[in-house]
Structure 1
Amino acid sequence: MTALSAYNFQSTEFTPSGFGVTVPGPVADEPIEAAEVERLLNKGKSSLRLPEPLENAFIADAGPQRLRTMVISGVLVAFVFNWLLVSDWLLIPDQFDQALRLRLFLFTPAVIVGVFLLPRWSSPATREWFVLIPGVGAAAINAWLIVSSNDPFASTYLVSLATIAMYTNSVVRMRFVPAAVLDALIMSIFIAAAVHLPAEQARVLIPGGLLLACTITFTLYGCYCQERDDRLNWLLHLRERLLLKDLEDANQELHDASRSDILTEVANRRHFDEHLAEVWERVKRDGGEVALMMIDVDHFKAYNDRYGHPVGDACLKAVATALKRRLREPGDLIARYGGEEFIAVLAGTSLQTARGAAERIRRGIEGLNLLHATSSTHAVVTVSIGVATLTPADEGATTTRLISAADEALYQAKQGGRNRVVALGWDE
Structure 2
Amino acid sequence: MVKRKKVIFSPAIAADRAYLGVHNDPVVSAEVERLLSHRTRDIRLNDELNRLFRERIWPQTAKIIRAWMIWVAILGVLTLALNMLLLPLDILKSIILPSAVLPPIALALALVWRRPRAPWLQGSLLIAGVFGILLSIALVGLNAGGEFYERHLNIMLFVAITAIIIFGIPLAWTVTIAALALSLYYVFQLTNPSLELGSALASTLFFTAGVFATVAARRNMTLLAQKSFLLELRDRHRVFELGEVNDRLESLARTDPLTGVANRRWMEEMLVRLWDKEKKSPGQVAMLMCDIDEFKKLNDHLGHAEGDRCLVQVANIIEKHVRRNLDVVARYGGEEFLVILPQLSEAEALLVAERVRESVEAASMPNPTSSVSRYVTLSIGIAVQGAGSENLSSEQLQQHADAALYRAKQSGRNRVVIHRPQTSSLDDLAEENAV
Alpha-carbon distance, 1:30 to partner: 6.5
What's the RMSD between the two structures over aligned residues? Answer: 3.7
Give the secondary structure class of the aligned counterpart of 1:204.
Answer: helix
Give the secondary structure class of the aligned counterpart of 1:409.
Answer: helix
The residue that corresponds to 2:362 in the other structure is 367
Alpha-carbon distance, 1:26 to partner: 6.0
- Do residues 423 (structure 1) and 430 (structure 2) align? no
Report if aligned partners of 1:9, 1:28 keep a CA contact under 8 Å in 2: no
Alpha-carbon distance, 1:109 to partner: 1.6
- Given candidates 81, 86, 103, the residue that maps to 1:108 is 103
Alpha-carbon distance, 1:191 to partner: 3.9
Distance 2:358 2:323 in 1: 17
1:282-341, Cα deviation, whole Å (9 max, x unpaired): 798467433211112233333334544344333322222221221116542111001121
Amino acid of the structure 2 residue aligned with 1:214: A
* 1:293–1:80 Cα change, 3 Å: same
Report if aligned partners of 2:380, 2:416 keep a CA contact under 8 Å in 1: yes
- Do residues 238 (structure 1) and 233 (structure 2) align? yes
Distance 2:75 2:228 in 1: 32
Q: Give the alignment of 1:50-69 within 5 angstroms.
A: 50-69=45-64
The residue that corresponds to 1:261 in the other structure is 256
The residue that corresponds to 1:303 in the other structure is 298
Alpha-carbon distance, 1:233 to partner: 1.6
The residue that corresponds to 1:338 in the other structure is 333
Q: Which has the higher contact order (CA 8 A, sep 6+)?
A: 2
Report if aligned partners of 1:140, 1:189 keep a CA contact under 8 Å in 2: yes
Distance 2:364 2:230 in 1: 56
- Given candidates 74, 82, 85, the residue that maps to 2:69 is 74
Amino acid of the structure 1 residue aligned with 2:157: A
- Given candidates 377, 393, 400, the residue that maps to 1:398 is 393
Give the secondary structure class of the aligned counterpart of 2:413.
Answer: coil
Alpha-carbon distance, 1:73 to partner: 1.0
The residue that corresponds to 2:426 in the other structure is none
* 1:88–1:31 Cα change, 3 Å: farther
* 1:294–1:153 Cα change, 3 Å: closer
The residue that corresponds to 1:380 in the other structure is 375
Report if aligned partners of 2:134, 2:156 keep a CA contact under 8 Å in 1: yes
Amino acid of the structure 2 residue aligned with 1:54: L
Amino acid of the structure 2 residue aligned with 1:100: I
Amino acid of the structure 2 residue aligned with 1:215: G
- Given candidates 208, 220, 223, the residue that maps to 1:228 is 223
The residue that corresponds to 1:140 in the other structure is 135
The residue that corresponds to 2:93 in the other structure is 97
Distance 2:115 2:332 in 1: 59
Specify every segment of 5 or more residues in structure 1 that has no aligned partner in the other structure, as ranges: 1-7, 13-24
Aligned residues: 408
- Do residues 352 (structure 1) and 347 (structure 2) align? yes
Moved more, 93-102 or 53-62: 93-102
The residue that corresponds to 1:318 in the other structure is 313
Report if aligned partners of 2:289, 2:338 keep a CA contact under 8 Å in 1: yes
* 1:194–1:369 Cα change, 3 Å: farther
- Given candidates 167, 184, 187, the residue that maps to 1:189 is 184
Distance 1:158 1:288 in 2: 81
Give the secondary structure class of the aligned counterpart of 2:288.
Answer: strand
TM-score (norm 2): 0.79
Specify every segment of 5 or more residues in structure 2 that has no aligned partner in the other structure, as ranges: 1-8, 420-428
- Given candidates 274, 278, 281, the residue that maps to 1:279 is 274
* 1:150–1:124 Cα change, 3 Å: closer
Give the secondary structure class of the aligned counterpart of 2:272.
Answer: helix
Report if aligned partners of 2:43, 2:227 keep a CA contact under 8 Å in 1: no
Report if aligned partners of 2:95, 2:144 keep a CA contact under 8 Å in 1: no
1:167-198, Cα deviation, whole Å (9 max, x unpaired): 21124354422101211222333344456556
Distance 2:10 2:183 in 1: 39
Distance 2:295 2:195 in 1: 108
* 1:219–1:253 Cα change, 3 Å: same
Report if aligned partners of 1:71, 1:118 keep a CA contact under 8 Å in 2: yes
* 1:169–1:89 Cα change, 3 Å: farther
* 1:278–1:118 Cα change, 3 Å: same
Moved more, 207-216 or 407-416: 407-416
1:330-364, Cα deviation, whole Å (9 max, x unpaired): 54211100112111012233322211110011122
1:11-43, Cα deviation, whole Å (9 max, x unpaired): 69xxxxxxxxxxxx9685974554543443232
Percent same amino acid among aligned pairs?
28
* 1:239–1:409 Cα change, 3 Å: same
Distance 2:299 2:359 in 1: 21
Alpha-carbon distance, 1:384 to partner: 1.6
Distance 1:98 1:11 in 2: 52
Distance 2:32 2:181 in 1: 37
